[in-house]
């Protein structure tokens, strides 16, 4: 009996030691930079609410969690106060408001942002007016091949016919990553040689992001005539069938608040 009691007491003491050791491990961590054997005890406590402001963002700490909020500048707030940002405006009026509220010192870009009903939606549209910088179009020829051999690319769009495509294949690694390889999806691979010369960069294919029903595009420059920008926007909305496909539409400049469009 004496032996059994001694054994049981010894086992209980070992269990207690193991339990204390286990608890100690959960309460202590090793930090890099400490000398061997040194430990720091971690004590859980609620973080006091505080705000850390940096340029463009505001980080709020609440209960140990970080909440990042965007901090708008004075010029943005002044521009936003010029119109009712909850109201939906007609296209022409929306364009006018964006031009008036743009506060960039440079000639900003006019952007159109759409929310459509389904991801994967696409449409081809011909803009009635040039949007942004005019692009240089080159029709694939033997001269083009010679330039590509030297690595020279002095064009923004390359148009080709099925007959000239085999000559361009060896340069696919150069043209592909730049989005210059002719293909039927963007209309740069033209079956009829007679139509190659009349190719226009105003005709573009718009499609949603891969994982979201969002479409973003440039419809002009801030310095451009209001009527031209408005007509470009109208052409895009018409190509998508207006309210049949488009849920929301916004127009904004590079540096301006967004104005909602009445579809």
Q: Of the given ranges (3-7, 155-159, 228-232), which has the lowest mean pLDDT?
A: 3-7
Residues 155 and 253 in one domain: no
Whether residues 127 and 231 share a domain: the answer is yes
- The reply to whether 148 falls in a domain is yes
Reported as a single tens digit per residue, the pLDDT across 47-103 is: 444 444 444 555 555 556 666 666 778 888 888 888 898 899 999 999 999 999 999
Global confidence as pTM = 0.61
* Averaged pLDDT for residues 152-161: 88
Q: Are residues 213 and 121 in the same domain?
A: yes
pLDDT, tens digit, 9 for 90 and up, residues 158-217: 888 898 999 999 998 999 888 889 888 777 888 877 777 777 767 778 889 989 999 999
Looking at the domain assignment, is residue 218 inside a domain? yes
User: In 3D, which of 132, 101, 133 has the Cα closest to residue 255?
Assistant: 101
Please indicate, yes or no, whether residues 253 and 143 belong to a single structural domain of this protein: no
Q: Is residue 243 part of a domain?
A: yes
40 in any annotated domain? no
156: containing domain = 137-196
Q: Which of 196, 212, 228 is the last residue of a domain?
A: 196
Domain count, the chain: 2
- The CATH number for 177's domain is 3.40.50.790
Closest residue by Cα to residue 131 from 248, 208, 235: 235
pLDDT at 51: 45
């Amino acid at each position: 009996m004496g032996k059994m009691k001694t054994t049981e007491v010894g086992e209980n003491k070992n269990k207690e030691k193991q339990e204390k050791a286990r608890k100690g491990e959960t309460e202590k961590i090793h930090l890099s930079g400490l000398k061997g054997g040194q430990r720091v005890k971690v004590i859980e406590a609620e973080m006091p609410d505080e705000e850390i402001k940096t340029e463009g963002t505001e980080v709020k700490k609440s209960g140990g969690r970080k909440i990042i909020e965007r901090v708008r500048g004075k010029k943005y707030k002044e521009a936003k106060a010029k119109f009712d940002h909850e109201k939906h405006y007609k296209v022409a009026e929306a364009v006018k408001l964006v031009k008036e509220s743009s506060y960039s010192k440079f000639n900003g870009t006019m952007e159109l942002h759409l929310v459509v009903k389904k991801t994967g939606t696409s449409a081809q549209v011909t803009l009635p007016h040039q949007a942004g910088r005019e692009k240089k179009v080159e029709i694939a020829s033997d001269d083009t091949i010679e330039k590509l051999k030297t690595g020279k690319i002095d064009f923004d769009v390359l148009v080709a016919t099925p007959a000239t495509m085999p000559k361009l294949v060896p340069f696919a690694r150069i043209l592909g990553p730049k989005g210059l390889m002719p293909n039927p999806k963007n209309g740069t691979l033209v079956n009829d040689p007679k139509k190659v010369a009349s190719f226009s960069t105003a005709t573009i294919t718009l499609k949603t992001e891969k994982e979201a029903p969002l479409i973003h595009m440039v419809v002009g420059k801030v310095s451009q005539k209001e009527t031209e920008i408005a007509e470009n926007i109208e052409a895009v909305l018409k190509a998508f069938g207006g309210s049949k496909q488009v849920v929301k539409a916004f127009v904004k400049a590079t540096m301006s608040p967004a104005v909602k469009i009445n579809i």
